[in-house]
Amino acid sequence: MAQQPVLKNRRTLLERAEKFISDVYFTDCNLRGRLYGDSCPLESLTSFSCSKRISFQEASKQNFTPHNLGDTFGPTWWTCWFKVTLQIPESWRGKEVHLLWECDGEAMVWRDEQPVQGLTKEGEKTSYILSDCLKDEDPHSLTLYIEVACNGLFGAGQGSMIAAPDPNRRFSLQKAELVVFNRDVQELLTDFEMLIDIVKELGKEDQRGYQALFTVNEMVNLCNPSDHSSFSKARSLAHKFFNQRNGESQHTAHAMGHCHIDTAWLWPYEETIRKCGRSWVTAIRLMEKNPDFIFTCSQAQQFQWVKNWYPQLYSQIQHYVKKGQFIPVGGSWVEMDGNLPSGESMVRQFLEGQHFFNREFEIICKEFWLPDTFGYSAQLPQIMLGCGISNFLTQKLNWNLVNTFPHNTFLWEGLDGSEVLTHFPPGDSYAMNGKIEDLVKTVKNNKDKGRTNHSAVLFGFGDGGGGPTQLMLDRLCRVRDTDGLPKVQASSPEKFFSQLRAESALLCTWTGELFLELHQGTYTTQAQIKQGNRQCEILLHDIEIASSLALCRDKTFQYPVEKLRELWRLLLLNQFHDVIPGSCIEMVVEDALNYYEEIRSGGAALLQDAFSVLGSKGKSAGVLNSLPWERHEVIQTPDVAGLPGLALVRVPSLGLSPVKDTQPVTLVLVTVEADGTVLMENGIIQTVINKNGTLASLYLIGANREAISDCGHGNQFIMFDDIPLYWDAWDTMDYHLQTRKPVLEVVQPVCVSSSSGLRGVVSFTLRISDKSTITQEIVMDAACPYLKFNTEVNWFESHKFLKVEFPVRVRSASATYEIQFGHLQRPTHRNTSWDWAKYEVWGHKWADLSEHNFGVALLNDCKYGYSVYKNTMTLSLLRAPKAPDANADMGTHRFTYALMPHAGSFQDAAVIQSAYNLNFPLRLVRCNPDIIPWSAFSISSPAVILETVKQAENRKGALVVRLYESHGSSVSATVCTTLPVKEAWLCDLLERHDGAQPVRIASEGISLNFKPFQIVTLLLIM
């Protein structure tokens, strides 16, 4: 009888095929229900739980007790170890045998005392293959250990993924048994799934989609789930479809296995170590069976952890790195935040990362891999190129809330003109799963059609780890060259970027920062982490300078190489893109703050070691200046009775001086007016402070200019409601600006706290709410061009945002913000959606608003969030999100900001130097009373900042000196030094120098030419 024609009812045919492979419907008679054959219970299942993460050796010695399926264990963050004894039936000879394991937590299988496989339901890994084809000689009786972490891939949020963890959550094991796995069923299921997805993704208007529909329908007709002999005809139809080839013009998807593992986020640092172990050992298993499988893996810190915790796994990784399958990428210590770390910190991320990869694997990464951070500094291209990196991969700007970024593949031009080839995978993900949807999106979303015909497809479970699965590889293998879909090839970053570069003639260029129009609350959340970062960056800077100078003054001094590396790596670790932004759980915050304390305590000891050499172990007071210009400042120093006193000292650049009190040209005068306001002046600036602590006036005496607008008061604290759409710790939405409420309740009005001639201090207290208060000291020092605000906030709010405003008498269409090794301008208006999206922006130590010949700078010692709208300068101080840390920012905060009116440009007025001075303290040193003031380095041009002096990485006794042009100008500068320099070489940021290009050392110093914002690194041989 003739076959009946197929009706053109797309819905019924499609749904018929979907039900045929459903794991919910008709499993008694469909194909999915035949995935597993016979099953067999375990011989025994025992367990024990512990609160700590312990080694296998320790765990295997514990007392295991019987465990039944359904028994609960926990609570959150504990570990439950299972001992599994199994006996494979002899009758299963020739079968593929799996241990089926379905459990709430993340699991690692240990066999013969080694980790062999990660298991997690969320990562679609619920079975461990005991044998691909059971043979007589294979072990039939086995004992395995399974280590189960009491958390999921995404932690243990209470009610939602990003909620604070539920500390009392219980976990259970739902299934643990031996099964026969029908590989032929799985292969056919994959064929069905891919064809069904082609139908759905190509849509009703595509003829190729209909070809897939009728193919899959005929496969259902041919396939009898109970008769495996019928599978070959169905598979033959699928094979015919998949092998219908594309033309030469088709887009190519470069498929790379990937496993983005947040170094800390919704779980603590220590759990990340196990996530790496579980994910990477699973990738190794895939490499053993799939020689074409390529896996990209970033973050040197994670490699170091695996090396320490899983040495045999690390040896396997080294083997597959040599084979070109396991590819270290990124070149950085961690995937750091792209906004908040200092320029020197960014350099150290690459210095530590690239040196690690080179030492361990003999490679230098050529691509920066940063898919999931919250914006990208305009100085990153120059830093990348200086560290041997010319390619950049990310995708986060696809998250923009307001504007759609116009490119996927482009040249990114940085602040100094450096260019790197940049790619955003058009599939808008770094955790694809090899499905048709990923491939179709990759072509459809590509914004550079016609300019480039290649895109990256990164596949594998990510964020919480997991990585690729065999099913993902099988999916991609099916459609390597299938008509109607992009060509798919297993690729590496090097191959991919080489292809892009070969066809880059038509690519567009994006100049300046890559600003993420989302997650702008991360500039402020978790203020103590941000303060710890800034303070520790400064401390390590000063340790390196003091140690370098000590080394030059005493050749027997031991430069603390290893201890400094240890402290730097702790700092770099905390710059991970969910830690320094504050978008992490409370446990991570506690770890981060503890690491800062380690840096502070260890760093203080290193400073004292260097000081003992610099001060010749004397007993008189001296002062070390770690900045490259002379400083004339008021400091606090003990008097003869040991009590705190004040002194106005003059200290040479990068040098040491005894404490010798100098007299200011003008003393600080403090006057209480009849109306209760307080007037302070020091000959440079004059201020009038209202009884509520706001500024009625800040007057620049020499320029005869008032800084504070006549339409408002300076130093006005403002509260905002701060309720984002979802990402609590991450986001502050534009509509929060509509909820502005000044803090007006005065608890203690302004009163004079101190008036010594060298320093004037007034203080006051405001009440924010019945839970929170602000106490502030407004400080004016002799010879100081700015007014300081030492602030203490007792903060116990919920979903509120505290800022401080300064309306100023300046009109400008743009404001300037310090970034790494330079500065950039952003609009003060809201003309376009691109302007409006920058309602909250980031900056480092200062922001400036200037018109011709006059301006005002806002300085700070630990804040990063700013807003300048029209003539109002705003500094963001504190937020109060409740997820993922329910106690974020609660407690007492102490910080300082300052306001500096200036004549001329901010460059000529030394705003940059003043911000450094506010942040980098003059440090007291015990020295001989007859010590002569001395300077190690000075720079002839104020445009050039000497940022770093340190011992060279691979050359004992040699120094590395890093400088940058800070004004945005082309300039020549001379580096003068009193150190015994024999040779000078230009080198890159990895401290590799060109032996053919020495730098001439003249009697007056080392002459250098700088382009705007250029970073220059010198290697000095003593």
Altogether, the residues listed in the chain come to a count of 1022
Residue with tokens 């064929």, as numbered in its chain: 191
Distance CA 420, CA 368 (A): 10
CB burial of residue 992 (10 Å; 0-12, 13-18, 19+): middle
Q: Nearest 5°: CA angle at 1001, between 1000 and 1007?
A: 75
How far apart CA 301 and CA 298 sit, in angstroms, is 9
**What sign has the CA pseudo-torsion 30, 31, 35, 36?**
positive
Mutual angle of helices 561-574 and 527-553, in 10-degree steps: 160
Contacts 24+ apart (CB under 8 A), 10-13: 10/199, 10/204, 10/210, 10/213, 13/213, 13/214, 13/216, 13/217
Q: Which of 337, 372, 438, 728 is an active site residue?
A: 372
The DSSP line for 228-258 is: GGGHHHHHHHHHHHHTSPP-TTS-EEEEEEE
**Nearest alpha carbon to residue 22 among 12, 11, 10, 35:** 35
* Exposure string for 937-959, b = 16+ CB within 10 A, e = fewer: bbbbbbbbbbbbbbbbbeeeebb
The SS3 of residue 859 is: strand
Q: Which two tokens stand for residue 691?
A: 């009884």
Angle among Cα 26, 31, 33 to the nearest 5 degrees reads 60
CA distance linking residue 742 with residue 719, whole number of Å: 6
Name the residue with tokens 């209202």: 690
Tokens of 27: 């499993």
Among residues 384, 386, 388, 358, the alpha carbon closest in space to that of 370 is found at 384
Pairing mode, strands 993-998 and 65-66: unpaired
Residue 715 and residue 693 in contact, taking contact as beta carbons nearer than 8 Å: yes
Distance from C-alpha of 1018 to C-alpha of 961, rounded to nearest angstrom: 5
How far does the chain reach from its first CA to its final CA, in angstroms? Answer: 97
- Numbers of helices and strands, H then E, in the chain: 18, 56
Structure tokens at 8: 């053109």
CA count, 13 A, side-chain hemisphere, 949: 28
Pairing of strands 695-700, 1001-1002: unpaired
Both tokens of residue 510? 């994006």
Distance between alpha carbon 378 and the CA centroid of its chain, in Å?
16
Helix (H, G, I), strand (E, B) or coil at 589: helix
337 a catalytic residue: no
Residue 619 corresponds to which amino acid? K
Burial 59-77 (b: 16+ CB within 10 A, else e): beeeebeebeeeeebbbbb
The answer to whether the beta carbons of residues 693 and 787 sit under 8 Å apart is no
Q: What positions carry a catalytic annotation?
A: 372
